[in-house]
Amino acid sequence: MNRSSPRSQTLTAALWMIGAIASFSAMAVAGRAVSFELDTFELMTYRSLIGIVIVLSVAAMAGTLGQITRRHMGWHLVRNISHFTGQNLWFFAVTVIPLAQVFALEFTSPLWVTLLAPIFLAERLTRARAFAAIMGFIGILIIARPGVDSLSPGVIAAALSAICFAGSAVFTRRLTRDETITCILFWLTVMQAVFGLICAGFDGDITLPSAVTAPWLLLIGCAGLVAHFCLTKALSMAPATVVIPVDFTRLPLIALIGALFYNEPFEVWVAVGAIIIIGANLVNLRAESRG
């Protein structure tokens, strides 16, 4: 009897995605919990310092420290500037607009990858990819509704964070051609710790964690790495056409969290825009699976 049947592999991948969904949601809640005391640069600094300890500890136990190299430092730099910018914008957005709105706009990231990949990875822009990108943009307009209400800084930050995350994904894909996950995660945490220290200390004042914020910062540092590890494991066990749709369950989950703990309403326009964005992603994934 084959214990690694496609069905069991798919179920295992779904379980890994539950871990990723829980971790991403925990990051949003923890980010909001520390926002009253720390700015986003300080938050990113402490998250990255915790990440360095975790990455080096795990790499030492796994015997992969030797995989950390200084090749392709230019790609690492561009990738981490993009990710650092996106993560700061994302943490800002979760503190000022409903969590469901942040996650709905974040789901446009795969569509921006579709547009950036031909430029940086020489990948072909097919009709299906172009259609998905256009529909995703329409979804953004429905959620943001420019002209109906003035665009808030939080909505703009969430939308821009999705573009930055897309850039990070494209540059990460480029790095994986030559580098290991250990190397990529090491420079991710180190570079972003440096960026955070520079930006947080620009005004000469860096707030130290308190007894209240320290546990939340530890959660953010662990959840960020766990989320990406779970997502990577899921993608290694099942096709993206199976894995990515599972990730879309983050939206109703975070909407429920927002309603229960922060008394946030879930607006119908957010739901409509999110359905269009998710549908555009599914159309693109289906076209990709057909080759």
Residue 114's pLDDT band, with cuts at 50, 70 and 90, is: confident
SS3 content of the chain, % helix, strand, coil (to 5): 80, 0, 20
Q: What is the rounded CA–CA span in Å between residue 174 and residue 167?
A: 11
Name the band, by pLDDT with cuts 50, 70 and 90, for residue 289: low
Mean pLDDT for 187-215 is: 92
pLDDT higher than 80, residue 129: no
- Torsion on CA atoms 291, 79, 116, 103, rounded to nearest 10: 80
Average pLDDT over residues 83-98: 94
Nearest in space to 248 (alpha carbons), one of 27, 87, 17: 17
β-sheet bridge partners, residue 146: 149
Report, as an integer, the average pLDDT of 15-23.
Answer: 90
Is the pLDDT at 209 greater than 50? The verdict is yes
Stated pTM of the model: 0.84
Residue type, 199: C
The rounded mean pLDDT for the chain is 86
3 has pLDDT over 60: no
Q: Residue 215 has what pLDDT?
A: 95
Residue among 74, 167, 79 nearest 117 (CA): 167
* Residues 92-111: tens digit of each pLDDT: 999 999 998 999 898 888 88
- Calculate mean pLDDT across residues 136-156: 78
Q: What is the mean pLDDT of residues 260-283?
A: 86
> Across the strands, what pairs with 149?
146
pLDDT at residue 74 in the model: 94
Is residue 1's pLDDT more than 50?
no
**What is the reported pLDDT for 2?**
45
Residues 6 or more apart in contact with residue 169 via CB below 8 angstroms = 109, 113
- 161-189, pLDDT tens digit by residue? 999 998 888 888 888 888 888 898 899 99
Q: With pLDDT > 70 as the criterion, what percentage of the chain qualifies?
A: 93
The tokens describing 157, both together, are 């930050």
Residues written for the chain: 291
Q: What is the pLDDT of residues 22-65, one digit of tens each?
A: 999 999 999 999 999 999 999 999 999 999 999 999 999 999 99
Q: What is the pLDDT of residue 141?
A: 82
Distance of CA 222 to CAs 91, 187, 261, Å? 16, 17, 22
